[in-house]
Every structure is written in C-alpha cells, then in structure tokens.
Amino acid sequence: MTIRYPGGKKYSPRSDKLNSRLAQKKSLQYANRGMTLEEDLNETNLYYRQIGRAVIHKKPTPVQVVQVDYPKRSAAKITEAYFKQPSTTDFNGVYRGKYIDFEAKETKNKTSFPFGNIHAHQAEHMKNVQEHGGLSFLIIRFSQFEETYLYDASHFLQWYFEQSERKSIPKREIEKAGHFIPTTFRPRLDYLSILDQFYLSM
C-alpha cells in the first residue's frame, strides 16, 4: 500500500544509507551556515568594500515592469512584472584598477558543471570582457561537496564554444584548471586573494 501525505506526495521511509548521507550533508551545511553561494559572495563583497579592498557589487535581477500603481501617500507599487533573462553576468566592479566581472553558479551535479547554467549571451559577454582587458571568470560551487572554485573564463569559453557537444565540463577539469576557494570566517570566500596569486602581478 502506498502511503501519501495530505498534499498527495508519496511517503517512502528513508533508508539508513540516505539518512546517514543527509546527516553528513547537514553537518557540511552547518560548516557553511546554510548560506547560498550568492549570500556568501554578497557578504564577501560587503566586507571587501568595508575594508576598502575592492568595489564589487551584485547587479540587480532584471525585471520587466508592466504595471505600476501609485497609491496616495505611499510608495509606488509594482503590480505586474516578469523576470527577464540577464544579458550580462551577475557581479562586476573594480579591484586594483582592474575591471572584474564574474558569474556565480551552484550545481547539485556531482561529476560535472552543466553548460545549461550559462546562457549564450552571458558567455558572449565574458568573451567581450576578456577582449577589452577585463578579468572574467566563474565562481562555481559543487553544492553536494560544498566545494567552491574560481574558474577562469578562458578555460570555460574553450569548453563552451569548442566542445559544446559535451554540454558540461567535468568536475576534475575544474579542480585541475580552476582554483579552490576555501570557505573562511571573514571574508567568506576570499576570491580576490586567488586573483592576486594567479592573475594579477603583485
């Protein structure tokens, strides 16, 4: 007999193996205080701004506003709007005089980073940024392992445009050509130190 929750979802008892995996995941999440990659990066960037190290912000999510109400004596209220596909990457700013531009993505995939996470015009944007002398990269988190990597756009674009039939980049390639970013207390993800070490002469 199938037992169902009130919502209609099937009830299936958890196996011991799954339980232990969940416990493991929970402890890993605790290490990261359960924050998403975006939250970690926002906190990191805020810290960088506070100590005067860099000026890097997340861009607002693009929204197509269709209808706005202007009630008397209160703020304009948007009553109809839709999310738009972003035409650029999520984060940009300035560090040591350099233009910094990156996209941050989490994947639950354990063995590879699927291209589906990046739109074609975002890849195009990264290419353009590189051509104009900016520093362009991805920050990729494999959430199942709580591992975060800085992966240079030049590597990414090679896979994306030249080996696009693959539809993904193997995790081991990102481990090899990318740079592991340790999660620390403050800043949460010190990716600028990676740039110092590998991409900017001191």
Q: Return residues touching a copy of itself (CB under 8 A).
A: 49, 52, 54-55, 57, 59-63, 65, 75-84, 86-88, 92-101, 125, 128-129, 131-134
- When the beta carbons of 8 and 60 are compared against a copy of itself, the nearer one is 60
80 or 146, CB closer to a copy of itself?
80
* C-beta closer to a copy of itself: residue 18 or 94: 94
Write b or e for each residue in 158-182: b if 16 or more Cβ atoms lie within 10 A of its Cβ, otherwise e: ebbeeeeeeebbebeebeebbbebe
Cα separation, 169 vs 160, whole angstroms: 8
Please give the annotated binding residues, written as ranges. 88, 90, 103, 122
Q: How far is the CB of 55 from a copy of itself (least distance, A)?
A: 5
Amino acid identity at 195: L
Amino acid letter at 4? R
Q: Which residues contact 73 (CB under 8 A, 6 or more apart)?
A: none
**Annotated binding residues for Mg(2+):** 88, 90, 103, 122
